[in-house]
Chain A
Amino acid sequence: MLEKALSGSKLYWTWLIGLLIVIAAGFGAYLVQYNKGLMITGMSRDVSWGFYIAQFTFLVGVAASAVMLVLPYYLHHYKTFGRITILGEFLAISAVIMCSLFIVVDLGKPSRILNVMLHPTPNSVLFWDMVVLNGYLIINILAGWVTLEAERKNVPPPGWIKFVIYLSIPWAVSIHTVTAFLYAGLPGRGFWLTAIMAPRFLASAFAAGPAVLILLGYLVKKLTRFDPGREAFETLAKIVCYAIILHIFFFLLEVFTVAYSAIPSHTSHLAYLYFGLHGHNMLVPWVWTAMGCGITAIILLVNPRTRQNPIILPIACVLVFVCTWIDKGMAMIAGGFVPNPLHEITEYAPTALELMITLGVYATGILVLTILYKVAIGVKQEEEAV
């Protein structure tokens, strides 16, 4: 089926070449980091994780959100998602690939990465994160590719793949739960020490992922005349709506517990993010932007008339994306490290090289996504032409 990715329009090839240029630039920036060390980033002794780990966390959510298509389609036989479930699975594949790359670029000694497997350590959550993420990648490659191939050959998919697909549903929940456990089990970090971390991650994931899918769906429809169908968009929009409401609701639960109990090691992080602490307020405009986007998106998505409007819906999806991306991709990680365990404040901002490497990783994921979507839509259109 891969041959479908080898023929395309001029726009398709220009797009691929453009992505390759960004990847090359990112790789160049990574070579600088590889030779000089992580000193080229904005990270520090106090904020020891930064942009890379934040993007990793955000993208685990995007990957997990495939379950929002797989579950209705395969468990509830919701036929409307038949045309786009493959798009969700392929989005998950590219998201997991980006996650792995973000982990690699964040390591001080990337050449030693196999130590995680050579010295398996079940008491480390990072070990389990490696297990579930790699497992999820394999599951989605199998589920996506095998069903697509069967569809192309016009035969029913093999029976065993059903088992893999069913397995992908709890597995999707597991990847984001385990990723939340990376943070939620650390004794000295009040901002992360909350049992609601995993549900919060899942809620924002199920908002961000389907929002990205709606945007990709519109793009695909415009570029290839492959139509995911009006009803599919509408159902996805409802999922995004519920999830973004839950995301804000869970955040407010967090605010209540932290503010009403008024324990300084918990309040100080939220205070830093939303109001600034001792004159340090770098992230304040960002988190309020996120909040504004989230609330506007809720207003646009709750109202059926704006939700069903093909021009307003993508705008709402962009707002959901911005809201969840700032929340997880910027505030969640830095907010946990500021103030530090000695209640001192060191702020964090990524450097240009760090951003370049990040862009390179995103471009790699988008390249994989483009090729996979090209194959999937090629097969779907071929089948419809017959």
Chain B
Amino acid sequence: MGVDRRKFLKLAGVSAALGLGGATGFQLLRPGALDAAERMPTPYQMVFPKEHGAAEIMPNPKRLQGRRWGMVVDMRKLTPASARAAIEACNYYHNVPQIPGKQNIKWIWTAPYVNVFPETENPWADPDIKNAQFIVMCNHCDNPPCVRVCPTKATFQREDGIVMMDMHRCIGCRFCMAGCPYGSRSFNFRDPRPFIKKEYPDYPTRTRGVVEKCNFCAERLAVGKLPACAEASGGAMVFGDVDDAGSELRQLLRKRYSIRRKPNLGTSPQVYYLV
């Protein structure tokens, strides 16, 4: 981010002198605060934009903005091929390692109805639904248990609802993995780098000992791109603002019947399945 130690101390010192204290320098160190800082330059940055890095963190004018991001998976449009394309796009753009065995890493994958929606069994349901492979990923819950249990705030929720990981703060206690009721989190049991097929240079690889998961492509939204899976899914996955009644996502949810994973747990998942 270009806020090096010297710059930070200077910024903090001057802002303290100006009586701006907590509203400036320290905010930059808080996880998730960068976006808030992007939206709203501090008074100090407005006065001295060039000298103190404000220009570097000016938001990208093309970025996608939403009040509450969500995803719709249209099971009528999702085919094995489009699901595979979505998964492969995600794996590529996030350097998700392909580790064989039970210590694997998964951001987005497919599973049959009975596993995705346990305890909603209906033996006589439409076999097309029952036998379908559903796309599963982090639900970016409104009320995420993983954020509740994390002892270091390494996993946190942004104002736009995205549940994110700070890989540099995670201590690898895996409490979030016990907390997640959807099995959406993976732990780097080993160095993941040798298992990345083709490294994508614009997204960081991870180190062993930290937990990771889907981030709703926060890094792509920041430059005006849709999530990689939605882009590659051929229209089967629709990403949008749940809070915007006019969004395509909301129109789909209005017109078609949708279900969510384990809604009885009160987590309010933001991935909706049109069945």
* A contact residues vs B (CB 8 Å cutoff): 36-39, 41, 43-46, 48-49, 103, 106-110, 112-113, 115-116, 118-119, 121, 123-127, 130, 182-183, 185-189, 263-265, 336-337, 340-344, 346
Contacts and interface: CB of A to CB of B under 8 A. Distances in A.
A264 B149 contact: no
A189 B179 CA distance: 8
B27 to A, nearest CB: 15
Interface range on chain B (Cβ under 8 Å from partner): 35 or more
Contact of A344 (B115, B149, B150, B175): B115
Interface of B: 101-106, 111, 114-116, 118-119, 136, 145, 148-154, 169-175, 177-183, 186-191, 208-211, 262, 265-267
Contacts of A39: 103, 189-190, 208
A189 B153 contact: no
Given A37-B190, A116-B152, A109 B183 contact: no
Given A38-B187, A49-B178, A188-B265, 10 more contacts: A39-B190, A44-B101, A45-B105, A45-B177, A108-B171, A115-B169, A125-B149, A188-B262, A343-B114, A343-B115
A36 B194 CA distance: 13
A45 B267 contact: no
B178 A187 contact: no
B64 to A, nearest CB: 29
A37 B171 contact: no
A159 to B, nearest CB: 37
A127 B154 CA distance: 13
Contact of B173 (A43, A106, A346): A106
Contacts of A46: 102, 183
Given A45-B186, A341-B182, A186 B151 contact: no
Interface residues of chain A: helix, strand, loop or mixed (majority): loop
A126 B151 contact: yes
Given A107-B173, A188-B265, A124 B149 contact: yes
A186 B189 contact: no
Residue of B104, B119, B152, B169 with most chain A CB atoms under a 10 A cut-off: B152
A126 B149 contact: yes
Contacts of A263: 119
A126 B187 contact: no
